Amino acid sequence: DAKTTQPNSMESNEEEPVHLPCNHSTISGTDYIHWYRQLPSQGPEYVIHGLTSNVNNRMASLAIAEDRKSSTLILHRATLRDAAVYYCILMRASYDKVIFGPGTSLSVIP
């Protein structure tokens, strides 16, 4: 399985942008890059996904490196409600499972 590497934890000040990095050097051509987040005591929540081009939605932006070996989830303006564990996951077109790594625990400081 293609693996991702993320920092264990990060901190951000409220109302400032947050850049959450993810390395996936063994990514294959059919792997999609997905981001999920999990708030305390809740199930994970889909954030965004992409293949090659940068993506934007109402929650976040996803910047994908040209060689696709890394990506960055961007929260444009962190709020206290964004404090969660963020998971970067690769999903193959022909591969069913979502396997979670340790993720990055984001703390937002008021």
Gap between the Cα atoms of 71 and 65, Å rounded: 6
Q: Out of 29, 81, 97, 110, name the contact with other proteins by CB under 8 A.
A: 97
C-beta of 37: minimal distance to other proteins in Å?
11
Residue 77 binds other proteins, judged by CB under 8 A = no
C-beta of 100: minimal distance to other proteins in Å?
4
Residue 5 binds other proteins, judged by CB under 8 A = no
**DSSP string covering 20-88, please?**
EEEE-TT--TTEEEEEEEE-TTS--EEEEEESSS-EE-SS-EEEE-TTSSEEEEEESS--GGG-EEEEE
Q: Out of 18, 27, 34, 75, name the contact with other proteins by CB under 8 A.
A: 34
C-beta of 16: minimal distance to other proteins in Å?
27
